Amino acid sequence: MYNLLKGKRGIIFGALDENSIAWKTAERVHAEGGTFVLTNAPIAMRMGQIKELADKTGSEIIPADATNLEDLENLVAKSMEILGGKIDFVLHSIGMSVNVRKGRHYTDQNYDFTSKGWDVSAVSFHKVMQTLYKQDAMSEWGSIVALTYMAAQRTFPDYNDMADNKAYLESIARSFGYFFGKEKKVRVNTISQSPTPTTAGQGVKGFGGFIAYADKMSPLGNATAQDCADYTVSLFSDLTKKVTMQNLFHDGGFSNTGVSQEVIEEFSGE
């Protein structure tokens, strides 16, 4: 390890279990010398294993529903107290569609479900940043990252309303990135990650076929959760200070590949 995050303090949202992208990121950040507070929705805390991660990384846990402003205000204020200063890095690794969970097709949405999923998966990112902004909680040259998926740009039918939520999330990164950059010298980016076998990922219908297809299409193969943790650490480090307002594809080349030899062979019967 390289001590890339030595002396840096952060908040990590979304570590549910050891498969979670946020879990792998927390381990990697810890290995690079960063300290952080772990947070997740109160209900996920009861179901998940976050305590184990906290013990391993010497972190404290503060429950917060990322759609609830009071929870977020408390989280940000307490994190600065616990960590002993302003925040250098934040990972938003949160996603959930109620329509997907309840098996509602994209053309048959329940709009209460749609609103809830949008709030959790997209608006929560604005709420997190607005809370940090108002409390002036970010250090200069701090870095904020959220995770997204390419369904924001191209249609993947089974991704359902999460596609729309991700498009909104990416837009928030650009819009808030402007103000955070101008006023506080803080960067805001989204990482557009390959399909990854996690609880949220496996909620997508036909995930097995989907992940195998992406792997065959990507010249470098799918990026794993561990790869994503590495990439995120680079964005939290001082080596990427002028990267902001970007949607960064982290997908082994999938997004720029029209077709791969392997996929052609599947169809040509040769």
What CA–CA distance (Å, rounded) separates 229 from 145? 11
Q: Which is nearer to ligand NAI, 179 or 207 (CB)?
A: 207
| Residue tagged active-site, from 149, 168, 178, 231 | 149
Angle at the Cα of 45 (from 72 to 12), degrees rounded to 5? 50
| Residue tagged active-site, from 159, 178, 213, 231 | 159
What CA–CA distance (Å, rounded) separates 245 from 233? 17
CB of 110 to ligand NAI, least distance (A): 18
Among the listed residues 116, 118, 190, 178, the one whose alpha carbon sits nearest the alpha carbon of residue 153 = 190
| Residue 82 in marked binding region | no
Q: How far is CA 218 from the centre of its chain?
A: 21
CB of 119 to ligand NAI, least distance (A): 8
Q: Where does this chain bind ligand NAI (CB under 6 A)?
A: 13-14, 16, 20-22, 40-41, 44, 65-67, 93-96, 120, 147-149, 193, 195-196, 198-201
Instruction: Respond yes or no: is residue 149 known to be catalytic.
Output: yes
What CA–CA distance (Å, rounded) separates 265 from 252? 20
Instruction: Respond yes or no: is residue 106 known to be catalytic.
Output: no
SS3 track for 219-234: CCCCCCHHHHHHHHHH
CB of 190 to ligand NAI, least distance (A): 9
| Residue 115 in marked binding region | no
Binding-site entries for NAD(+): 14, 20-21, 94, 166
Provide the annotated active-site residues: 149, 159
